[in-house]
Structure 1
Amino acid sequence: MHLTQEWDKTFPKSDKVEHRKATFTNRYGIQLAADLYVPKNAATSGLPAIAISGPFGAVKEQASGLYAQTMAERGYVTVAFDPSYTGESGGEPRHISSGEINSEDFSAAVDFLGLQPNVDRNKIGAIGICGFGGMVLNAAAVDKRIKAVVTTSMYDMSRVMSKGYFDSMTPEQRNDALTAMSQQRWDDAEAGAPALSNQGLPSALSGEEPQFVADYFDYYKTPRGFHPRSINSNGSWTITSAFALMNMPLMRYVDEISPRPILLIAGENAHSRYFTDDVFDAAEEPKQKLILPGMVHVDLYDQLDKIPFERIDAFFGENLA
């Protein structure tokens, strides 16, 4: 695995933390690439730690790395990782997703953090952003080592893939989508590799897109958040990538995270807010929901004056003590 060693993040490097590249392997034998952030002059043992990933289609040089560096400034050992099949992480073919494997990626990050000599294994939490908010909740439901969970701008990727936005997909549309992906598998089998979708973000805006698409464009396609290894910035998923998510209910066991605490954060005007609202209703206590006035989905990717890091720090400070 070749890892880029120069600083190529979409955010400035902090002088308050130590940073190094790292790798670890998940339960499926896929090697993951990550950035490890450690507070400078921190204790040599007993530190709390946080595993971080997301958004869906992003890389560790974007939002998850910013969260990781910021939380490391606040005293946590953090790791931001590229999910399987994306960024600098391994896995072939590229640009595919799996609810199971991407959930496992969080558990592999917990494995890695728990092997660090300065980390207390009983003080490991996790943050999932956007689509990896759903993955981290799924991971926490089965992995009891994750002691506290935060999501921001959470997406349930299995729900949106299988039912459409706001559950608007009709049975006929679902059948058509599955039929098309099923037939695409013949083409991919004949070609020896999966074809990429043409449904990525546009190269330019026409002005007729939904506002949330324009918001995504403003993050992924401009200097604000563009990164060449990000699927959302510079590519697309495979045509059949949604296949595994069409019948995998990620939120099925979210109630089993209890008695470990959850903090769900979303913008008041986020198109994705209903995922957060519904998960909050389905989860058991202890749970908290923070709806941020006036904010949209992508505000919680990189806007340091809007992301409630004080609240996130207080949540982990209390629950990873």
Structure 2
Amino acid sequence: MEKLTLDTKWDKTFALSDKVNHKKIAFTNHFGITLAADMYTPKASLSSEKLPAIAVAGPFGAVKEQASGLYAHEMAKRGYITIAFDPSFTGESGGQPRYMNSPDINTEDFQAAVDFLSNLPNVDSEKIGIIGICGWGGWALNTAGIDTRIKATAVMTMYDMSRVTNKGYFDENDSEESRYQARVAVNKARTENFAKAQETGEYPTVGGLPDQRPEGDTFFSQYWDYYKTDRGYHPRSLNSNMGWALTAATSLMNTSLFTYANEIRSAVLIVHGEKAHSRYMGETAYNDMVKGSKYAANKELMIIPNATHCDLYDGGKDNYIPWNKLQEFFAANLK
């Protein structure tokens, strides 16, 4: 296990409830990368009691001190043992070079979280669920398609990272030529940065939000309102600061997620805001999952009136996160 340096002070974007216990933990995935996580446990639980458990991750480029931690913290208040983890190469987790992503490794991150929870003495290993937010909603659905130990998956304000990487937002760059030019650019960057990366172990980063708020009420300005303000800023968050490594999306350019989504037998809830720019990705994923499937009965798409994409990160000003629905969903399927 890699030796990680974990911050011991409370540095979340939300307050710690007196109803839960919190501690830092670490575990290693099958690629040998050590993941850092926050564990939340209901204070009212008995030491001899085996509880259902939930692993949480996301958004894509965020850290566990932001939205995923909020979800884990809230579900622990509702009786679940939960962990919110930093994905490989990000936050307090290990993995070199930094700020990379991988469809295979990130799916494995969720599976490693299930490994960890399944082996806790106070967890009922037959009652494990996951929650994925934004891009990690996509990884969550992908993981549900491979990991039969997962009994329930909640997908919040989902991005399909393979789709948006290969087709652009709203599929506006869905052409062979656009994809070819993107491949040319990323491979040119690999060549140009090879020597420096060999020496320093680092690649230049790209995609962080600007210091000044973008004009208008676009989804970029909505991201800024979360990641660059007291509402959601965190110094370790890629989205709050430097962005991803310049060549991080290489694997996504040759990947299609959810290939066998309509064979998922466990329960899946996909939640999107009515006004979320990403809504089309969740609706497509839901339709692909239930189309021609024998297992459509325990799949559900929930649209939250008036909510935008980032409103489901922390609730927004009108508390849009459907906590009671999540409680009902997991209670019904982790039993």
TM-score by length of structure 2 reads 0.93
Deviation at 1:184, TM superposition (A): 1.1
Structure 1 gap ranges (5+): none
Amino acid corresponding to residue 19 of structure 1 in structure 2: H
2:237 counterpart residue number: 230
Kept in 2, the 8 Å contact 1:158–1:246? The answer is: yes
Q: SS at the partner of 2:114?
A: helix
Partner residue of 1:199? 207
Identify which range, 170-179 or 287-296, moves more after superposition. 170-179
1:82-231 matches, within 5 Å, as 82-169=86-173, 170-191=175-196, 192=198, 193-207=201-215, 211-231=218-238
Structure 2: how far apart are the matches of 1:129 and 1:138? Answer: 13
Indicate whether 1:27 and 2:33 are aligned.
no
Decide which of 268, 281, 287 is 2:299's aligned counterpart: 287
- Could you tell me whether the CA contact under 8 Å between 1:22 and 1:34 is conserved in 2? yes
**1:206/1:307 Cα in 2 relative to 1: closer, same or farther (>3 Å)?**
closer
Task: Please tell me whether the aligned partners of residues 194 and 240 of structure 1 are also in contact (alpha carbons under 8 angstroms).
Answer: no
- Alignment of 1:301 with 2:313, yes or no, is yes
Quote how far apart the aligned CAs of 1:166 are: 1.4
In the alignment, the residues of structure 1 paired with residue 227 and residue 214 of structure 2 have an alpha-carbon distance, to the nearest angstrom, of 16
Task: Provide the C-alpha distance between the structure 1 equivalents of 2:27 and 2:171, rounded to a whole number of angstroms.
Answer: 37
Deviation of 1:266 (Å): 0.3
Is 102-111 or 197-206 further displaced after alignment?
A: 197-206
Cα distance between partner residues in 1 of 2:326 and 2:33: 30
AA in 2 matched with 1:85 = F
Task: Please tell me whether the aligned partners of residues 45 and 117 of structure 1 are also in contact (alpha carbons under 8 angstroms).
Answer: no
Pick one of 57, 73, 77 that aligns with 2:77.
73
Q: Specify the alignment match of 2:293 in structure 1.
A: none
Letter in 2 for 1:299: D
- TM-score for the superposition, normalised by structure 1: 0.97
1:13 equivalent to 2:8? Answer: no
Q: CA deviation at 1:96?
A: 0.7
CA distance in structure 1 between the aligned counterparts of 2:59 and 2:235, rounded to whole angstroms: 15
* 2:271/2:301 contact within 8 Å kept: yes
What one-letter code is carried by the residue in structure 2 that aligns with 1:247? N
How far apart are the structure 2 equivalents of 1:148 and 1:206? Answer: 38
Structure-2 residue corresponding to 1:247: 254
Contact 1:196 1:236 in 2 (8 A): no
- 1:124 Cα shift? 0.1
Determine if the alignment matches structure 1 residue 318 to structure 2 residue 322.
Answer: no
Higher deviation after alignment, 118-127 or 169-178? 169-178
2:264 alignment counterpart = 257
Aligned residue identity for 1:263? L
Moved over 6 A (4+): none
Shift of residue 205, structure 1, vs aligned partner: 2.2
1:171: how far off? 2.1
Q: Distance in 1 between the 2:207 and 2:20 partners?
A: 38
Alpha-carbon deviation of 1:206? Answer: 4.3
Deviations, residues 234-289 of structure 1 (Å, cap 9, x unaligned): 1111111110101111121211212x110000000000000110111011312011
The 8 Å contact of residues 214 and 220 in structure 2, kept in 1 or not, is answered as no
Give ranges in structure 2 of 5+ residues lacking alignment.
Answer: 291-295
Aligned residues: 319
**2:282: which partner in 1?**
276
Return the alpha-carbon distance in structure 2 between the equivalents of residues 254 and 68 of structure 1: 25
- Percent identity reads 52
Q: Distance in 2 between matches of 1:94 and 1:257?
A: 32
In structure 2, how many angstroms separate the alpha carbons of the residues matched to 1:34 and 1:194? 24
The corresponding residue for 1:60 is 64
Distance 1:69 1:256 in 2: 31
* Aligned-partner Cα distance in 2 for 1:296–1:236: 22
Tell me by how many angstroms 1:174 deviates: 1.2
Q: What is the DSSP-based 3-state SS (H/G/I as helix, E as strand, rest coil) of the residue aligned with 1:60?
A: coil
Residue 42 of structure 1 is matched in structure 2 by: 45
**How much has 1:194 moved relative to structure 2?**
4.8
Shift in Å at residue 291 of structure 1? Answer: 0.1
Could you tell me how far 1:202 is from its partner in structure 2? 1.1
